Amino acid sequence: MDTMTIKLATSPTTWGVDFADAPSNPPWPQVLDEIAESGIGALELGPVGYLPEEPKVLHAVIASRRLTAVGSFVFEDFHDPARAAEILAIAERASRAIAAAGGSVLVIIDRPGPERVATAGRGEAARRLTPTRWAVMLDVMQHAAEIARAHGLRPAIHPHAGGYLEFEDEIERLVADTDLDLCLDTGHLAYAAIDAAAALDRYASRLAHVHLKDVDGTVLARVRNAALDFWTAISEGIFCPLGRGVVDCSAVLAALERSCYDGFATIEQDRVPGNGSPLEDLRASLAVLEAARELGAQSPAGRAEGAGADLTPTTPSD
C-alpha cells in the first residue's frame, strides 16, 4: 500500500471559539497569528461572523498568514423546527464564507440543548427524538447540505456530545435514513462511549471529514459517575491534547490508513476561552501525531503495508 497523506489543520475551536459573539473570545488576529506560528498551515474558519465575512478581506487575512482554508461549521439547533429558517440563513452565510476563502467542507452540527446537555456521554439516560422530530431535524440538515453543495462544498454531519445526534444508535439511524456523509470527531465519539477507530472503520464509505480530539479519562469518569452536564465538563477540561486521554491515536491513524482517507484532519480541543495555552497544546498534539506516525512506520504491519500515514502540514499555493 502506498503511504497515505493526511493533511492537518486546526480551528479557532481550540482557542475556545464556539460562538462568534461570545464576549470572552480571543481576538481573531491573535488566533490566526498563533495558528500560523504553529506551522500547521491550514484551518477551519470557526463560527461564521468570527472572522471577517467580506470575501476579499477574509481571503486576505488568511493568505497574508500563508494559511489554507479547510471549511467551517454550522453549530445550531437543528432539532428545533421553529429555528429552521434562521439556521438555513446561517448555513448560507457560512457556505458563502467558506467558498470565498477557498475551503471545501461544511460541517453540520446539532447544537447541545438543555435536555441533552444534561445527559451528554450517558446514552442510557438520554432521551431520543421521536420519529416525527427526528425527521424534521434530518430535513433541516438535508436543506443545509443542499446549500453547501450549491456553493461547491461537501457537507458532513458531525455527531456531537450533548446534541440529538450523539450516540451509536443515532449515528446508525442517520446513516440508514439519509445519504449524508459524516464528520467523525474522535473525542466526541469517545465521550459517547464509541471506539473512535472502530467507528472510522465502520463508516469509512461515508467519511467526509475528520476531527482529531482526545478526552481526559478522569474527567470523563466524573461525567458518568456524577452526571456532569456537557458545558460543566468543558469547564473542567474534559478535552485534552492528543495522546493524554483515552483516544488511541495510533489506532485512529491505522483506521484512516485502512480506509485510504484522503482529506483534512482538524486537530481540535474544545475549551473555555482564555483557559490554558492553545498554541502549546496544539504543538503537543502535533508531536504526538508525529510519534504515532513514526511508530506505525516502524512496526511490522506498517513496514508490510508501506509505512503508514504521512501526516503533513499544509503548504498553501501562491
Annotate 230-273 with DSSP letters as a single string.
HHHHHHTT-EE-TTSSS--HHHHHHHHHHTT--SEEEE-----T
- pLDDT score for 49: 97
* Whether the predicted pLDDT of 25 surpasses 80: yes
Residue 138 domain-assigned? yes
259: CATH: 3.20.20.150
Looking up cell 488576529, which residue turns up? 29
Share of the chain above pLDDT 90, in %: 89
Q: How many structural domains is the chain composed of?
A: 1
- Helix crossing, 131-150 with 168-177: angle to 10°? 60
Residue 317 domain-assigned? no
* Whether the predicted pLDDT of 304 surpasses 70: no
* Whether the predicted pLDDT of 26 surpasses 60: yes
Residue 173 domain-assigned? yes
Q: pTM of the entire structure?
A: 0.93
Residue 318 domain-assigned? no
Q: What does each C-alpha distance from 271 to 17, 18, 154, 275 come to in angstroms?
A: 8, 9, 27, 7
Residue 275 domain-assigned? yes
* Whether the predicted pLDDT of 137 surpasses 50: yes
Residue 134 domain-assigned? yes
Structural domain that includes position 152: 5-312
pLDDT in tens, 230-284: 999 999 999 999 999 999 999 999 999 999 999 999 999 999 999 999 999 999 9
* Whether the predicted pLDDT of 6 surpasses 90: no
pLDDT in tens, 160-218: 999 999 999 999 999 999 999 999 999 999 999 999 999 999 999 999 999 999 999 99
- pLDDT score for 127: 98
pLDDT band for 293, please (50, 70, 90 cuts). confident
Residue 300 domain-assigned? yes
Residue 258 domain-assigned? yes
